[in-house]
């Protein structure tokens, strides 16, 4: 066996580089996306049956129809008001 056995072949290395590059590009597009309100898919969630009501929490799961990013905003985040 040659010492190449533990190294990915050239083709794999090229593909992995492309994936890294594509992920960077995707991240840049998502970072720059204004996530227009009208394209946002919102799913509201809540956890309100706690014995101690102070433990109750609300959140919204958002998904942007433009850049395909998904994220969650909790009600204690000032940003939450924007999505109600």
Task: Report the C-alpha gap between 6 and 39 in whole angstroms.
Answer: 46
Retrieve residue 63's tokens: 């998904």
Q: Which is nearer to Zn ion, 13 or 22 (CB)?
A: 22
Q: Site mask, Zn ion, residues 30-69, x = CB under 5 A?
A: ---x-x----------------------------x-xx--
Task: Report the C-alpha gap between 37 and 67 in whole angstroms.
Answer: 13
> Could you tell me which stretch among 1-9, 15-23, 27-35, 48-56 binds Zn ion (CB under 5 A)?
27-35
Task: Report the C-alpha gap between 47 and 76 in whole angstroms.
Answer: 13
Residues in contact with Zn ion by the rule CB under 5 A: 33, 35, 64, 66-67
């Amino acid at each position: 066996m040659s010492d190449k056995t533990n190294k990915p072949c050239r083709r794999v290395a090229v593909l992995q580089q492309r994936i890294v590059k594509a992920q960077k590009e995707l991240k840049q597009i998502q970072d720059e996306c204004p996530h227009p309100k009208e394209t946002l898919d919102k799913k509201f969630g809540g956890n309100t049956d706690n014995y101690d009501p102070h433990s109750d929490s609300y959140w919204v799961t958002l998904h942007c129809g433009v850049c395909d990013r998904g994220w969650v905003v909790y009600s204690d985040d000032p940003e939450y008001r924007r999505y109600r």
